[in-house]
Chains A and B, each alone.
Chain A
């Protein structure tokens, strides 16, 4: 059965610190997709990144970077030089090719960045 675990419930950092949000997934499919979404206090879900299971290249987008490791079934997200605007709940999600496109979400990690 598919499952996404975000073990960190809450993280608090001071501005300009680097922070890594962990995501571990379980799936039996060989083809699957991993996502990260940001949910700011206003409540919407903001897409950050999608990765497919055949692409293990790490990705960097500005202050954000993602480390995908199939060997450990992890898809971790790092924010470099965090800012107060990064404060939000971050969700990792998994979609298996065998499903009809439904995303299985982790429970989320609440990140608080203090000035």
Chain B
């Protein structure tokens, strides 16, 4: 079964450093998403991406965050200057369309620890 792949699985970074989280969505999917989950809390939407541009973003997704699809297969989330409160599990997801008949698949996540 097709998978959404995220790398790395765990990243430790120093406060103030830039970090890039990488995702390879399912190849025929057109909609891409990032979510985050602070430890022990619910999963929160960050941003959706379609047709090479952001289609929706949450209040969490401020100027410190950016997304990119640099080469047609990868989908990245960049945090410009990490803060302690950015420590969380970050999930990438993709879907083929907005009826989700073909699923809404999450990757296994990247655990980001900011020290």
> A residues touching B (Cβ–Cβ < 8 Å)?
33, 35, 37, 43-45, 47, 50, 52, 91, 93, 95, 97, 99-108
Which secondary structure dominates chain B's binding surface?
Answer: strand
- Using C-beta atoms within 8 Å of the partner chain, give the interface range for chain B: 20 to 34
Interface centre among B31, B35, B104 (most CB of A within 10 A): B104
A103 — nearest CB in chain B belongs to which residue? B45
Is B109 touching A47 in the complex (CB atoms < 8 A)? no
Is A47 touching B45 in the complex (CB atoms < 8 A)? no
* Interface flags, B68-97, vs A, CB<8A=1, else 0: 000000000000000000000101000100
Is B95 touching A43 in the complex (CB atoms < 8 A)? no
> B residues touching A (Cβ–Cβ < 8 Å)?
31, 33, 35, 41-45, 48, 50, 55-56, 58, 89, 91, 95, 98-100, 103-109, 111
Is A45 touching B48 in the complex (CB atoms < 8 A)? no
Which of chain B's residues have a CB closer than 8 A to the CB of A108? 42
